[in-house]
Chain A
Amino acid sequence: MAKQYKTLGDEIWKNRVEPMNAELFIFTYGSLVVQLVKDYEDYDQVNQQLDKMGYNIGVRLIEDFLARSGWGRCTDFRETMEVISKIGFKMFLNITPTVTSWASDNKSCSLVLDENPLNDFVELPLDAQQQLWYSNILCGVLRGALEMVQMQVEVKFVSCVLRGDDISEIRVQFVRHLQEEVPINDE
């Protein structure tokens, strides 16, 4: 089963994605974060803003994902996370984070980013290492995208190599299934 996701992810990456210049992408993101830090002068605010931007990206990105992958509905949260890692991340960033540390109730897990293109060439100043989650935009993207397929989740970074941690880890907590809207009865 897991293999099938990987094959599909590889296939999409090879045939259905237009590659773009990685450096341009990385530096654009870098200057965006720098500008936010200058504007807000507060790392917590910057984290929040990155999350919000990510959310707005996610709600659109999901359409691109669904259209290009042709993926229908996932049966459970476990499958969703596999698809995100093997197809979603592969398709947009060409990485496949490891899905691990499942909670016993199958409602939360971790994505471990063995590599993260956003982090390339980046070194955080000492004061930022305490507070800034440099790639926090990813959390917002996941939250926005999953909300569009009726899943409410909480996503946050728990560790990041830029802060001196050993691994970069995103924790995803499933909250609930959102009800699909029904037409308003206006008889």
Chain B
Amino acid sequence: MIYCLYIFDRHCQCVFYTEWNRSPDRSRTEGSSSFSEPPTPYVWPRPLATSTTDPRDARMDNEAKLVYGVVFSLKNMVTKLCHNKDSDGFVSYRTSSYKLHYYGTASGVRFVLLTDPTVPSLRDVLRQIYLHIYLEYVVKNPLFPYDPQQSRPISNDYFGNMLNSYIKGLSCYQS
């Protein structure tokens, strides 16, 4: 089962977050069977045009920082311990309740995907997201203000939709 995806840019900022199969109250309690998936997943940071607020917004900032901190430290530790230059470095870690998959590019874009612990390596999935969705709908989008000195949240519906349908098409999406 896939829980959520974070995208961080080269300035260590979370520029995109979205979630699936994650109940709004953030606690996976027993009675969660009544929870039904909304048609469009929750996205953060919110596009400026929407004035609606979501109770989840307040917590996201902190959560994104925490996730980045964990990934950043682990990546550095793994790189220091491993002397093989050709290795992929930090790829994923697993706890009893979730698994974190990581993919980073040389240009400093970082993708983090949280899933349940039984899912096999999704590094390739993250690479596909970078290659076919991030590249096509963010980098090659002439309307996206791509300023290398500044963080810019991805508020591109098309990107979100493509990502959503790609993730939902994966065999491990809801199993």
A residues with a Cβ closer than 8 A to B are 56, 59-60, 62-64, 66-68, 71-73, 75, 144, 147-150, 180-184, 186
Contact = CB atoms under 8 A, between A and B. Distances in A.
A59 B146 contact: yes
Interface in B93-113: 105-109
B107 A62 contact: yes
B131 A60 contact: no
A66 B130 CA distance: 10
Contacts of B11: 181
B65 A64 contact: no
A75 B106 contact: no
Contacts of A149: 106-107
B69 A64 contact: no
Interface of B: 10-12, 65, 68-69, 72, 85, 105-109, 130-131, 134-135, 139-140, 146, 148
Contact of B105 (A56, A59, A63, A182): A63
Contacts of A147: 148
Given A60-B140, A63-B134, A67-B130, 13 more contacts: A56-B146, A63-B109, A63-B135, A64-B140, A66-B106, A66-B107, A67-B131, A67-B135, A148-B148, A181-B11, A181-B12, A182-B72, A183-B69
Contacts of A73: 106
A52 to B, nearest CB: 13
Contacts of A60: 139-140, 146
Question: What are the 3 closest A-B residue pairs judged by CB atoms, nearest first?
Answer: A67-B131, A148-B107, A63-B139
